[in-house]
Amino acid sequence: MGAGHDHGGGGIKHETPLWWALGLTSMFLVAEIIGGLLTNSLALLSDAAHMATDVIALTISLTAVRLARRPPDAKRTYGYARMEAIGALVNGGLLFLVAGYILWEAVRRFSEPPSVASTGMLVIAVLGLVINLISMRLLKAGSGESLNVKGAYLEVWADMLGSVGVIVAALIIKFTGFYIADPIIAVLIGLWVLPRTWILLREAGNVLMEGAPRGIDTEQVRAALLAAPGVTALHDLHVWALSSTRSALAAHVVAGEDASDGDALRVQLEKLLDARFEIHHVTLQIETTPCGPGCETRIR
């Protein structure tokens, strides 16, 4: 039996841009909430909820980067990678409540649209757009190297579209007096947030339930192992997500008579899993005795 492990901290060098983006976004989130209340703009408050998803994404990314540095201990033998999923689950539930309230309030405003301070709404939305563009610039370089940073980059990119929507609503109200544009934009932003929140919850739940990692087809993994030279059968194959960016695999592999060196076969299979599926945390038990029920043999 053997294992291949990778506990690298590849995302550490991108921590500084994440901190800058989190600081800018968090400060403007507070300003946008205050501005939305002062201007009576539901669209602005809806965009603030959307910006909150950016703060969550950035916080989760930073948490994952920092916790990845902590080594496993006697109580947490896999380390702290799943704190990312727990945080996402809690934050996703809160976001559902916020988005639901915005949609409910928007329906009420359709019947009696209140007056909105369009100038203040426009100024705040333009500032929000600038903050989003700066954050996107900070995160762009790391988005091609780190999945955590890429997720945060996409969140900020989506929020940039929300800021554009608020600007459009403010201009419509300012030049036409069409106040119902405010709840219309709020509904559109709310409907944008809800599907992304559901995806966040689904992915977090998959990690906590030890589901197969996103993008990895277990049947393809099974077929690749069975097709490898020296393998005659396979059983007790498990592939699961340790976090959104770390996968693990365990399996019992029955070696053929021609596979005289079990360690060499194990190393060969670990390299295959790394190259084809990017699974780095691998535990394989090499056996020579034919297995019983549940054993899958090579298709000849």
The SS3 assignment for 112 reads coil
How many other C-beta atoms are found inside a 10 Å radius of the C-beta of residue 118? 22
pLDDT of residue 295: 77
What letter does residue 300 receive in the DSSP assignment? -
Residue 294 reports pLDDT greater than 90: no
Please indicate, yes or no, whether the overall pTM of this predicted structure exceeds 0.75.
no
Residue 9 reports pLDDT greater than 50: no
What letter does residue 216 receive in the DSSP assignment? -
Cα first-last separation, the chain: 26
Give, for 54, the enclosing helix (H) or strand (E): helix 42-67
Report which of residues 1 and 140 the model is more confident about. Answer: 140
The average pLDDT across 284-296 equals 80
